[in-house]
Amino acid sequence: MRESEIIELFLKHLRKQGDLPLGDDAGAIRLGDEWLVATNDMLVRKTDVPDIMTPEQVGFKAVTMNVSDVAAMGARPIGFLFSLGVPADVEGSYLEGIAEGIGKALEFYNVPVISADTNEADDLIIDGIALGKTRKLLTRSGAGAGELVCVTGDIGRALAGLLAWKRNLEISERTKKALYEKLLEPRARVEEGVELSGVASAAVDISDGLSKELHLLAEMSGVGIEVDAEKLPIRREVFEAAELLGVDPVEIALASGEEFEIVFTVPERVLKGLKIDCTAIGRTFEGSGVYITTGEKRQEMPLLGWEHLEKGVKGKYRTLFR
């Protein structure tokens, strides 16, 4: 079964939903005049973890991916929970590394652990859960026409790093370090999400690649999106890797998942006042569809990215490149 089929099957039976219907980075329920935001994301070692990741990096990332979803809703994280699935033959040092990584991440994000559970399982699994709160919720559906589309930080390094590793690319240590940093030690944009809460009209974090997130945002907001390829914040290390790979760096940037950057829309006048590291990459317009312009050429943006459980594809690192 494809992931989309599984989701559809469950949605059919889950009639009781929160105050915000399913479909955003996180769910939310009203608590007085605030929103309680909650999200969960499971990490399966075999399919989600490249071999080069240390257990500390795995543990840290299990927190990051959930905190990022909370931040993309404009909420400040207030608690973390996790369930472990532990194979009987797991090495104690690997588990300890995961514990260290989770502990470091909780200190980095200043979030307490509220509850934890361990179980025997065939796979090593960390199911992380983050809770957050905010007065003003940021969703994927709030974008209006004529607004700017922006993204925090830079994009593409996670996938470029993965490909550089898989293809054993000959790149300088400096380039490798820059790419691996994003692949192995991504950080959630917590302060950015909190600051955007009051001012952005819509937001989403990049879990499945910019192209997929833009398509979702356009569809859920009922607007079209036009992106200028030349404005995408792509670092030179991604260009370097792309050249060696013989692929378009823009495609890498659009397909690269688990970047944990925040994509958001704002009215133009608001952008100047923002104190966060971000780049305007395009605009929303009345209509539908997602387009990308490269020089004179305007075309529909291809839907790049991966879908878990896709037939015949093991794991989630499926992109157009394999």
Judge whether 89 is annotated as a binding position.
no
Site for a copy of itself in 40-69 (CB under 8 A): 40-42, 44, 46-48
Residue among 159, 74, 67, 84 at smallest CA distance from 125: 84
Question: What span, in angstroms and rounded, lies between the C-alpha atoms of 2 and 254?
Answer: 22
Instruction: Name which position in 67, 71, 125, 227 contacts a copy of itself (CB under 8 A).
Output: 125
CA angle 62, 160, 313 (to 5 degrees): 70
**Which of residues 209 and 282 has its CB atom nearest to a copy of itself in the complex?**
209
Site for a copy of itself in 257-296 (CB under 8 A): none
Do residues 282 and 208 make contact, with C-beta atoms less than 8 angstroms apart?
A: no
Binding mask 133-172 for a copy of itself (x = CB under 8 A): x---------------------------------------
**Total residues at interface with a copy of itself (CB under 8 A):** 76
Site for a copy of itself in 72-111 (CB under 8 A): 78-79, 81-86, 88, 90, 92, 95-96, 99-100, 102-103, 106-107, 110-111
* 299 is an interface residue for a copy of itself by CB under 8 A: no
Q: What DSSP assignment string belongs to 233-258?
A: ---HHHHHHHHHHTS-HHHHHHH---
Binding mask 5-24 for a copy of itself (x = CB under 8 A): xxx-xx-xxxxxxxx--x--
Question: What span, in angstroms and rounded, lies between the C-alpha atoms of 159 and 290?
Answer: 22
Which tokens hold the place of 18?
Answer: 């929160």
- Tokens 């007085």 correspond to what residue? 32
Judge whether 117 is annotated as a binding position.
yes
Q: In what order do the strands lie in the sheet with 278-285?
A: 202-205, 262-266, 148-152, 278-285, 224-228, 290-294, 297-300
* 113 is an interface residue for a copy of itself by CB under 8 A: yes
Nearest distance from residue 157's CB to a copy of itself, in Å? Answer: 24
**Which of residues 85 and 186 has its CB atom nearest to a copy of itself in the complex?**
85
Binding residues: 25, 39, 41, 48, 69, 117, 140, 205, 207-208, 258, 306
